Amino acid sequence: MAMRQATKAAIRACVSSSSSGYFARRQFNASSGDSKKIVGVFYKANEYATKNPNFLGCVENALGIRDWLESQGHQYIVTDDKEGPDCELEKHIPDLHVLISTPFHPAYVTAERIKKAKNLKLLLTAGIGSDHIDLQAAAAAGLTVAEVTGSNVVSVAEDELMRILILMRNFVPGYNQVVKGEWNVAGIAYRAYDLEGKTIGTVGAGRIGKLLLQRLKPFGCNLLYHDRLQMAPELEKEIGAKFVEDLNEMLPKCDVVVINMPLTEKTRGMFNKELIGKLKKGVLIVNNARGAIMDRQAVVEAVESGHIGGYSGDVWDPQPAPKDHPWRYMPNQAMTPHTSGTTIDAQLRYAAGTKDMLERYFKGEDFPAQNYIVKDGELAPQYR
């Protein structure tokens, strides 16, 4: 515990501190008059903003970088108002230089907005996943798009494991019984199962997928994965996972399917009625990747028919999800708002990572290679 607290203190120091000698060497020095307009779009915390000093990912606390940016002579505008022609974000599109957003309350950067943003140079995602940006349009316009790679992979993998157990044990109906003052063991137990011995397949085995498989190993499951790249043999052996090159071969074998791939033009709507029809009847699905990977109505129909035995995730299309979104009301679901990657620990990491990239940008330095999503007109491999 002492080591964990020391680590968090170090991260906080990275976010909040600055050295005058260090910043004197920046390419964009405030004293030179090269002030930048930076806009951040985050969710509003309201009364929760002051309840935790490390709650950095909200409008009110603005990643903890306001004082630093303004001390360097930059303008920092922060808002949660991001939709429609009269929103606060739209007012700043024509003259902003840097736009920071998160996957949890994404600022949708369309080709139209990019065309209007004459001064825009840099799009940063505080977190992981930059599909809220029209990446082709960004590449064509010569913009740089980057994210804080690795900042919340542990957070998301842990959340996925939790959701698997919630669905497997039929937890939500039990919780609802308690809240309503009811007691009906049969209403829960008739569709509650052990995780041991079940076949779990992840569609995508990048950083999050690998961490999930590692965490599932002690449960004694049969672990499968499908990905564009196969793991090294020694890692496969260590995790105990088997590579399945053909997705259509893997899906019918799975008791649980976990979605762990980015949203691209190829994966948008990928889980449609036809592909869902290939899944085992009663399959459980966990999707913390992106809502638009699923065909919305096909999921609803499959859950209502029982072909999908349970569906859980924190990603929707669009976000925030409208009140009439059908996933809110389908049976056997354990949906939440998009929270898996915005734990306090993750916020400390992606706030520090965002500050680090801004420092590098002001100095004209490259970012860590793995952070680039668009650079010099080229998309990262996972988005091609």
**pLDDT confidence tier of residue 383, bands split at 50, 70 and 90:** confident
Residue 164 and residue 106 share a domain: no
Residues whose CB falls within 8 Å of the CB of residue 209, separated by 6 or more in sequence, listed in order:
202, 225, 227, 258, 260
Q: Which of 61, 72, 152, 260 is catalytic?
A: 152
Assigned domain for 22 exists: no
* pTM of this prediction exceeds 0.85: yes
Residues in the chain: 384
Other CB atoms within 10 Å distance of the CB of residue 19: 7
264 is in an annotated binding site: yes
On whether residue 296 sits in a domain, the answer given is yes
341 annotated binding-site participant: yes
* 240 lies in the same domain as 116: no
Residue 307 annotated among the catalytic residues of the structure: no
Burial class (CB in 10 A: 0-12, 13-18, 19+), 10: exposed
Q: Are residues 291 and 362 in the same domain?
A: no
29 within a domain of the structure (yes/no): no
Residues 144 and 160 in one domain: no
Q: Which residue has the higher pLDDT, 138 or 28?
A: 138
List the catalytic residue out of 319, 332, 333, 347: 319
Catalytic residue among 26, 92, 163, 338: 338
* Annotated catalytic residue 136: no
**Is 339 flagged in the annotation as binding?**
yes
Residue 194, annotated as binding a ligand: no
39 three-state secondary structure: strand
Does 209 share its domain with 326?
A: yes
Q: In terms of domains, do 137 and 186 share one?
A: no
Domain count, the chain: 2
Question: Considering the domain boundaries, does residue 73 fall inside one?
Answer: yes
Order of strands, sheet of 378-379, starting from the edge strand that comes earlier in the sequence: 75-79, 37-41, 98-101, 122-125, 144-147, 372-375, 378-379
Residue 62 maps to a domain: yes
Does some domain include residue 11?
Answer: no
pLDDT value of residue 91: 97
pLDDT digits (tens, 9 = 90+) for 224-281: 999 999 999 999 999 999 999 999 999 999 999 999 999 999 999 999 999 999 999 9
Which domain-ending residue is among 301, 319, 335?
335
Q: Looking at residue 374, which CATH number applies to its domain?
A: 3.40.50.720
Residue 229 and residue 353 in one domain: no
Q: Is there a binding annotation on residue 249?
A: no
Is 342 annotated as belonging to a binding site?
Answer: no
- 32 pLDDT above the threshold of 70: no
Residue 15 lies in a domain: no
The residue range of the domain holding 302 is 152-335
180 plus 303 within the same structural domain: yes
Task: Quick: pLDDT tens for 59-118.
Answer: 999 999 999 999 999 999 999 999 999 999 999 999 999 999 999 999 999 999 999 999
Residue position matching structure tokens 């991001």:
82
Do 179 and 269 belong to one domain?
A: yes
Selecting among 290, 332, 347, 349, the annotated active-site residue is 290
Q: Has 360 been annotated as catalytic? A: no
74 in catalytic set: no
110 and 219 co-located in one domain:
no
Residues 49, 67 share a domain: yes
Same domain for 326 and 364: no
